Amino acid sequence: MTGPKLEHVARLGYAARGAVYCLVGGLALMAAIGSGGDAGGNQSALQSLLSQPLGWVLLGIIAIGLACHAFWRFVESLTDADHRGTSAKALAVRGAHLISGVASAGLAISAASMALGRAAASGGGDNQAAQDWTAWLLSQPFGQILTGIVGAAVIAAGFVFVGKGWRGDVTKHLKMTDAICRWAVPLGRLGYAARGVVFFIIGGFLIMAAIRASSAEAKGLGGALDTLREQPYGWVLLALTAAGFIAFGLFGIAQARYRHIDAPDAGDMKRAATRHVGALRS
């Protein structure tokens, strides 16, 4: 795949991720203000599209876009497309992008299955998925320790997101005019802050699962949103978080249009793959 074609793949991926965040945030906001909706997370939000006219077509398009986002995240992390380097911070960011790619790939598969009528969102949704992989992790040697480490890493990521929302340069990789920055920066800041809050909650549940050695304690995005709703003035907390998700979705669509993407060519990807395979063998 040539660089220009890969750039189009990356942009479609950012747009699809943005659309999913807008959908999740919109449904959660409706649930918060009592106008229907659902705070069930990614899978239930995608499932809701099937009730719309030509919903399976929309779902199929989103599935393709999420697959593009997953592919770009894999390429981005393995080839260092953003030229971050090999510092500890850079490697952590590239690792996070790799995990993001895995998550997008899983969601793309779920969306494609729903669009083809081969699967529906399970009753547990995101929570069930989180509990399934937590159960697998707990079953490994030193499983409780590993689960606790993952939980701590998720909380640390939450701090990074909140910090980025507070005073981070959210437009660092975007090429846009000052007029566009005036609305893109607030959207990005609010979006990252909302993601940070949700990561705190998900990480906290993972640590609880590690302490109690019970995968039932783990929660996904839907569980995190439900936890917010159950607090005093929970509808306000849920509404603010939902607004943040919508903001991040719109920011993702801005990324699809304005992000600087230095897409590697096929030769660069082949050399990167060779290096990583060699590192694994050594």
pLDDT of residue 62: 95
What are the tens digits of pLDDT across the range 178-207? 888 999 999 999 999 999 999 999 999 999
pTM, entire model: 0.88
Quote the CA–CA distance of 200 and 221 in Å, as a whole number.
11
Quote the CA–CA distance of 61 and 54 in Å, as a whole number.
11
Q: Which residues of the chain have pLDDT under 70?
A: 1-3, 37, 118-124, 265-282
What are the tens digits of pLDDT across the range 54-77? 889 999 999 999 999 999 999 989
- What are the boundaries of each domain within the chain? 3-281
Quote the CA–CA distance of 24 and 44 in Å, as a whole number.
9
pLDDT of residue 280: 46
Quote the CA–CA distance of 47 and 51 in Å, as a whole number.
8
Residue 269 near residue 75, CB atoms below 8 Å: yes
Handedness of CA 248, 200, 10, 258 (dihedral sign): positive
Q: Is 166 exposed, middle or buried (0-12, 13-18, 19+ CB in 10 A)?
A: exposed
Per-residue tokens: 106: 């899983």
